Chain A
Amino acid sequence: MFFPSSHPWVEGETLGEHLEQRGVNRRDFLAFCAEFTAILGLSSAFTPRMAEALQQLKRPTVIWLQLQECTGCVESVLRTAEPSIGDLVLDLVSLDYQHTLMAAAGHAAERALQASMEQNAGSYLLVVTGSIPLADGGIYTTIGGRTAQTIIEEAGRGAAAVIAVGACAHFGSVQAARPNPTGAVGVDQIITDKPVVNIAGCPPIADTVTATIVHYLTFGRIPDLDHDRRPLFAYGARIHDQCPRRANFDAGQFVEEFDDEAARRGWCLYKVGCKGPATFSPCPIFQWNTRTSWPIGAGHPCIGCTERNFWDTMTPFYERMPDVAGFGIERRVDLIGAALAAGAAAGVAAHAVATGVHRVRQRRALPVLDQPPQGKEGDRG
């Protein structure tokens, strides 16, 4: 998405002019807008508005910091799966600083960062992958001799908005798992004075990142978020409620152990540890790698990687969730559904301004993990 594009979008040119240069006709463009409108979960009435907004755009600057991380989120973004015109729109940001891809190194790289932050002060999008280790003066991650904390604080000051991509930027991920030896924290623990969006997942699906950026560019604000600052268009529903194997769950058709006859028939993985009932994620809908498959689709239980602290709250991964069983779940699911609907309605009312993001909505129906075990697991399989 962020690569030198075929006909680069030059300064001063609107996107409309630019697309014309690249031979993209208005019909294709509207089709793309309609597709993105759908991904974002908006009514089709928004399509013309999105088209109009996108056409007026100037090429925006993105600064991407890679802090304490494994680079998996960057790799995920490299696999972004848009329709080709989506690539087109999104490779059109000016990516001024990005370690994995940039030609310059050392001082030359750091000068590029400083120059971009100055020239685009107040207007650039800051994308962050990786956590910030705070223990022992921050010496567990340094770049150019400066700590991750110093670097993100400085970059945060001039950012218009911040997109925290992946579990590390979200809450610290694996290095923050108990006992969190380096004191790793997520971005929203450091940047508290402007909008931060958490694109949760270890790693997240690339399309979620790109769609969030499209949303920002189109509507001039970040999308509505859930209680954990995750965009509702991607994280608004539980895996369990969208799972193609849900019918097997309801029918009591369970995989009892891997590679048994039930596994070979694609039945429900709940009993071998699936965390889908406690996980809000776009996996079943967006799917992975140009919609090739997704974890449950490939026969492995969900490990809950879009949820905060999942390395501690969702492990052991192969242990079944004790109280998501039998008929009890049905009633609970109804409650969750109702609570979500109420939350969404409140959100719509609140989102008139960009600061709407600060109105953190409580989503009451949450990981059923908080509840004590109850009853006997429903073994109807």
Chain B
Amino acid sequence: MARTKVVVDPITRIEGHLRIEVQAEDGRIADAWATSTQFRGIEIIMQGRDPRDAWAFTQRICGVCTVVHAVASLRAVEDALDIRIPPNANIIRNMIHGMQFVQDHVIHFYHLHALDWVDVVSALSADPAGTARIARQVSPWPNNSETYFREIQDRLKRFVSGGQLGIFTNGYWGHPAYKLPPEVNLLAVAHYLEALDWQRDVIRLHTIFGGKNPHPNFLVGGMASAINLEDTATINAERLTDIHDMIKRARRFVEQVYWPDLLAIAGFYKDWAAIGGGTGNYLAVGEFPERDVRDVDSLYFPRGIILGKNLEEVWPYDHEKVREHINHSWYEYEGGDDVGLHPWQGETKPRYTGPEPPWEFLQDHDKYTWMKAPRYEGRPMEVGPLARALVAYASGHEEVRELVGETLGRLQVGPSALFSTLGRTAARGIETVLLARRLEKWYNDFVARIRGGDVQTFTRDKWDPRTWPATSQGYGYLDAPRGALGHWVQIANGKISRYQCVVPSTWNCSPRDGEGQMGPYEASLVDNHPLVDPERPIEILRTIHSFDPCMACGVHVLDAQGNVVTKVQVQ
């Protein structure tokens, strides 16, 4: 039977610009290509800048995961200059990053991913009393009343009858792949709206420590938010109370709304536990150092590698084994297309060789994306919540094992179900629950330190560039909500001479390499993957959204030829 070429561009409900092309055959996907269609060149721009400014530039790589590039950059610069930040600053960064995870994952579930599983139109025919019954069975959340759900349904009815559907226009409503009963659809729609208010509240933790969100402020050597219980302009008891209450509200929503909803919805889609697995290799650099960042034994989520879906063995991670390839990317290397380069030697010159826009298909072209192809010892690796959960599970992380066990038991599926589209979505929920609880511990640690008299938030001894070596280089790792992230910085005479990032979506959205190995998005789309109606490609959205793509992050460039930016200075 002939294959049909299918294009989905734009992939919506993600960060950035992503294009997916597939070939469909007999209701299944036979081949797939993932294309990043935006390029910004931020690493070229980094050259010649003050390394203490780097966090602000790289932070603007992404405004969704607005913390992660800033902190990875701080760690890279602090590694290069051998700066040890005070414990308070480490706890503050963990709280900021932890809340980023919790907030970001909940937004992903309700606002980016849910409409792949939840039919908004079907919720119109729900019995609100039935919704309330279901909700009360799974959660003590106070809004679980018939009255509440009826009100939501009335709002929805008026919205639909008005004819202007706004963001719901042209959704794939009524598609046979939607399996939820109307009552569960209504439950999800109600929580879609509630989550909007919730996320706006809990993220204020960033504002207290960093002045704003998105893009809170950070500082090489620590944090700028000073602690003084006896002043109005600093972290004091009023601020601490606000933070503590936010942490409690975050945990309550996660435990009583997000997690029960996730399990309830997943129960209707168990077939997706055998779809969309992909590469079977998983990489976690580990995150949340509870002592100095160099002490990887103190990471709350451990570091490691799983190969070939084998949970019996966890391999060590060494960043020196990362290589980036460009066989199918719009770049050129000095040594030709067939070499792979470590970020220390990273060179990238954009060289577009695709068709002139507007174009119809890219799959017939040898090079088809702005994304490079990172490989670990030659292998494509999936990164993100599933990789972290698997590495933690296989490493014997007690809390992860307990929650994974509970999840599999509730859904009545075996561990192999984890290697799937549904597994990715469940793993995201698992780590959200754990972090919502861990925030409480970090907060308590923070208060205990202050009570003990430690209010230091900044290390000043290496702030002055005159104290720096003539040349230095540093590596900053960070496991972001979307997966393993690395920043590599080289500093010469007080200025950045080279900067390179390998980010989660570069790993996951990577194109084929010289060996023809697909990247994780591509591999997952051809792993037992249905596509019933190419005109309404909801199945593609399910699997791609299960990765939570963040495209602006994925695309970067360093020009190894120098092109040093003219020193810019306020006159």
Contact = CB atoms under 8 A, between A and B. Distances in A.
B170 interface: yes
Contacts of B45: 174-175, 177-181, 311
Given A112-B170, A317-B52, A107 B535 contact: yes
A230 to B, nearest CB: 18
Given A112-B170, A259-B460, A70 B224 contact: no
Given A257-B460, A296-B211, A316 B53 contact: yes
B111 interface: yes
B50 A318 contact: yes
A178 B568 contact: yes
Nearest to A61: B164
Interface string A316-356: 11110110000000000000000000000000000000000
Interface string B314-335: 0000000000000000000000
Contacts of A300: 210-211, 217, 219, 224-225
A266 B231 contact: yes
Nearest to A321: B570
A9 interface: yes
Contacts of B456: 259
Interface stretch (A49-57, A136-144, A212-220): A136-144
A321 B570 CA distance: 7
A10 B160 CA distance: 9
B44 interface: yes
A68 B40 contact: yes
* B38, B120, B219, most chain A CB atoms within 10 A: B38
B13 A102 contact: yes
Contact of A264 (B158, B171, B206, B227): B227
Contact of B217 (A3, A295, A315): A295
Nearest to A140: B39
Interface in A1-27: 2-11
A108 B172 contact: yes
Given A11-B164, A288-B213, A298-B224, A105 B49 contact: no
B412 interface: no
Nearest to B566: A178
Nearest to A320: B570
A63 to B, nearest CB: 11
A78 interface: yes
Contacts of B204: 289-290, 292
A293 B571 contact: no
Interface string A158-188: 0000000000000001110111111010000
Contacts of B536: 108
Contacts of B158: 7-8, 10
A69 B552 contact: yes
Interface stretch (B25-33, B192-200, B385-393): B192-200
A94 interface: yes
Interface stretch (A35-43, A145-153, A231-239, A357-365): A145-153
Contacts of B232: 266
B207 A319 contact: no
A141 B16 CA distance: 10
A317 B166 contact: no
B12 A109 contact: yes
Nearest to A177: B45
Nearest to B62: A70
B222 interface: yes
B164 A6 contact: no
Given A144-B10, A322-B570, A293 B169 contact: no
Interface in A273-300: 283, 288-290, 292-300
A90 interface: no
A136 B39 CA distance: 12
Given A11-B162, A101-B167, A144-B10, A5 B155 contact: yes
A141 to B, nearest CB: 5
Nearest to A322: B570
A299 B213 contact: no
Interface string B149-184: 001101110110111101111111000000000000
Given A72-B214, A312-B568, A317 B53 contact: yes
A181 B107 CA distance: 33
A297 B171 CA distance: 43
B339 interface: no
B12 A202 contact: no
Given A3-B193, A143-B37, A145-B358, A102 B169 contact: yes
A173 B231 contact: no
A59 B164 contact: yes
Contacts of B228: 264-265
B155 to A, nearest CB: 4
A119 to B, nearest CB: 10
Interface of A: 2-11, 59, 61, 68-76, 78-81, 94-96, 98-112, 115-116, 133, 136-147, 150, 173-175, 177-182, 184, 202-203, 205, 244-245, 257-259, 263-266, 283, 288-290, 292-301, 303, 311-319, 321-322, 369, 372-373
The 10 closest A-B pairs by CB, nearest first: A72-B63, A266-B233, A10-B162, A103-B171, A181-B41, A295-B211, A259-B458, A8-B159, A298-B211, A300-B217
Interface of B: 7-17, 19, 37-42, 44-45, 49-50, 52-53, 56-57, 60-64, 66, 107, 111-112, 115, 120, 151-152, 154-156, 158-159, 161-164, 166-172, 193, 196, 199-201, 203-204, 206-217, 219, 221-222, 224-228, 231-234, 242, 350, 352, 354, 356-360, 370, 455-458, 460, 463, 535-537, 541, 552, 557, 563, 565-566, 568-571
